[in-house]
Each structure stands twice: as C-alpha cells, then as structure tokens.
Amino acid sequence: MKVILAYSGGLDTSVIIRWLKEKFRAQVIAYTTNIGQPDNPSKLKEKALGTGASAFFCEDLRDKFVTEYILPSLQADALYQEKYPLATSLSRPLIASGLVALARKEKADTVAHGCTGKGNDQVRFELAFRYLAPELKILAPVREWEFRTREEEMEYAQRYHIPVSTTKKKPYSIDWNLWGISIECGVLEDPWNEPPEDVFQITVSPKKAPAKGEVITIHFEKGIPVKLNGRTLSPREIIEKLTEVGGRHGVGRIDLVEDRLVGIKSREIYEAPAAVILHTAHKELERLVMSREMFDFKLSLAPWYSRIIYYGQWFSHLRECLDGFIRESQRYVSGEVRLRLIKGNCLVVGRRSPFSLYEEKLATYSQGDIFDHTAAKGFIQIFGLPAVLEGERWRKDQK
Ligand code: ARG
C-alpha cells in the first residue's frame, strides 16, 4: 500500500504515519501545502521523515488559493451563517486536489487524512477525492483507530518517540491559513465562556487597540481588490497587509455557534481580519453600483454559495453555475471604499465608483434637486392600488 497523507505535523497526522506503517506496512508520503500558515517547511520535513514518512512534499499553493478559491467566495459575499468567512472550509478542496495530483504522480493507491469523525473537514476532503479520483482508496485513521482518548494516543506517540507539542496549558485546536484562523476546544467548548486572550493568534484585544483607529482605502476592479491606500498590490499582498493592519486594531474576531454538517452545533472562534475587511468593503461597493434587484437577488445566492463551500460541495456543477452569474455580476464592481478600523470595528466611512448609481442631484434635500416631486403623487396612486383594494376588504371583514 502506498499512501499520500495530508500532513500538518500535529499529533494526529504524526501518529498516523506510524500507525499506517504498523497496521498496513504501508509506505507513507507526507504532503503539506503552504497556504499562509506560519509553518517552517524544513522543520516539517525533518519531523515527517523522522516519524517514518518515506518522502515529504510541501507545495506552495498560496496564489492558487487566493485566485481560485478566496476571490470567488469574496465576490459571492459568502459568509457561512452570516458570519464565518470559510477559511478552513475553502482550503480543503484545494489541499485535496494537490494530494490527488501527487497520488497520480507517485502512483499511490491510497490517500489519507487526519480528520475526526464528527467534523466537517472529513466530508470536504472525501467529497473532493471522490469527485477527482474515485479510484483512490480513502483512509481516515482517526475515525478508525483503537485509541479512545487523547492520552492513549499520546502514549502511543511516546512509545514510538514521536515528538508531542500539544500541552495541557494550550489545549486548542487551531487551523491556520491566509484567509483566517479557526480555533476550538478547551474552555471554548462552553459557549458561555468568554474566549481567553491566549486563544487569539493574530489580533490584539480591541481593549488594547489604539483609540483613534486607522483609515484605509481599498480599490476594487470588477470585484477584485487591486490597491490598498493607493498602492497597487496583488490580491494576496492585500490580504497579507490587511491581516496585519486589521490585527493591530482587533478587527476580525468572530465568535460563532455554528451548525456542523454532521448535525451538531459547535462553538468556534475565528480570526479573519482581512476577510472581514474585504467582505465589508466589497459588499459596500455592490450597494453603490448595483440596482436594488441585482443587489437583493445576488445576496439571496450568498447563503447558497456559503453552504456549498461549508458542505464540501466545491466541485459541483451548481457552484460552477453560480460562479457564472457571480462573475458577470461583478462587471461594475469597481471603485474605492474607505474604512476606519477602530477598536475591533471595521466601519465604512466612504465609497465612490465611476459606475455608481448614486445620483446626488436626485438624493439631495438642498439646492440643485432635480427630483420631480409632483410625479410622486401619481406614482403612489398607482403603486398603492393593491393597498386600496385590500384595505376595502379588510374594513368589510371587521364588521
Ligand atoms: N468549523 C470550521 C469549519 O468547519 C473550522 C473547522 C476546523 N477547526 C479547527 N479548529 N481545527 O470550517
């Protein structure tokens, strides 16, 4: 058996290498992607090979992640249950496709991941594997192995000299990429507990953020962020910069009780400064340039799009169809949004666009008003006919 393992270097995937070798005499190749997490690839390589992997591959997928996954989700205004920018969810089909490509190259017959049996990630990985390469056998050791507790797993790790870094002091499970960080476990499992400061990795406490805040300007072209404060940068550079700036002001902390695909509710803490800022700015620009029907209709698709991502249906015809609409909807989403980041808040303070549908001469209550006030009378007469008819019926009904 030749296995490609989605490897993170954490306790589970480290133990998996050993376990697959013991149980199946498998040859295990560890596969990692750089998607913006603060890992050191050479340390990971050392650890993977030291733990028994026959080879280690790390692929830099940051730009692919931004272009093919993050930007479409931004353009779709995709926030799961109105809050979660889907950083972890979006990364799974990307990692799965890299894994499949490597499996083909290495002529491996099996792929493996370290997800548990009650999370969403197992679904996302496996749906992607089955869509892309149904011939590959899928192994999920954490779902199947004999360890009943974390302690038993750690004992096994110690027996085989696998370095264990999870300590009792910081018992959080953290998933990290450039679109955001997901944090769970420990004291967070009681949704009444306020998250302690030590769960947060990249944002300062809003309490400690500078009182005046900071004003930034983001420039979009057809729904893609292209400039920050007047400087042209790649979308990835903008995300990285906004993570830093937003983090300084405590922007992007999200505390959410969400519905998992497997039916349970879970409490998750997210840190996603760049995602929160870009979603806020992008949607604001859409408000300015879209007709009300366009805006409302497009927004009605956002829960669909976010569910597709959350449920692991990235590779589906429905997503492609929605992408077709969303791409066209971005034709006029060009312009600038000015925001004040202040004490954990991301406030829109200005917006402008060459394609703006805002007409000051129509909106003004001061001089220069060109709105025909007299026409309103006839408009209301006709628009209000249904109200007249229903009103008559209602009055009769009262008697
Ligand atoms: N609840 C999030 C999701 O399903 C994040 C899951 C991973 N979280 C973690 N702490 N490992 O997308």
* pLDDT, tens only, 264-301: 999 999 999 999 999 999 999 999 999 999 999 999 99
Catalytic residue among 14, 77, 89, 92: 92
- Answer for the pair 127, 21: CB distance below 8 angstroms, yes or no: no
- State pTM to two decimals: 0.96
Q: CATH code for 2-76+90-174? A: 3.40.50.620
* pLDDT, tens only, 60-74: 999 999 999 999 999
Cα 73 to chain centroid, rounded: 8
Q: Give residue 315's identity as a one-letter amino acid code.
A: F
Catalytic residue among 12, 18, 91, 334: 12
Name the token pair of 343: 């004490």
Cα 236 to chain centroid, rounded: 14
pLDDT at 399: 85
Q: Is the dihedral of CA 210, 215, 217, 223 positive or negative?
A: positive
* pLDDT, tens only, 162-206: 987 755 556 799 999 999 999 999 999 999 999 999 999 999 999
Range scoring the smallest mean pLDDT among 85-89, 149-153, 353-357: 149-153
Alpha carbon distance 116, 124 (integer Å): 12
Query: What are the structural domain ranges in the chain?
Result: 2-76+90-174, 178-352
Q: Which residue stretches of 38-120 are H helix?
A: 41-51, 62-64, 71-75, 87-105
Domain 178-352 class, CATH top level:
alpha beta
The number of helices, as runs of H, and strands, as runs of E, in the chain is: 15, 14
For a mutational test of ligand 1's pocket, the pick from 268, 306, 314, i.e. the residue with the most ligand atoms closer than 8 A to its C-beta, is 268
Please give the number of the atom of ligand 1 that sits closest to the Cα of 121: 4
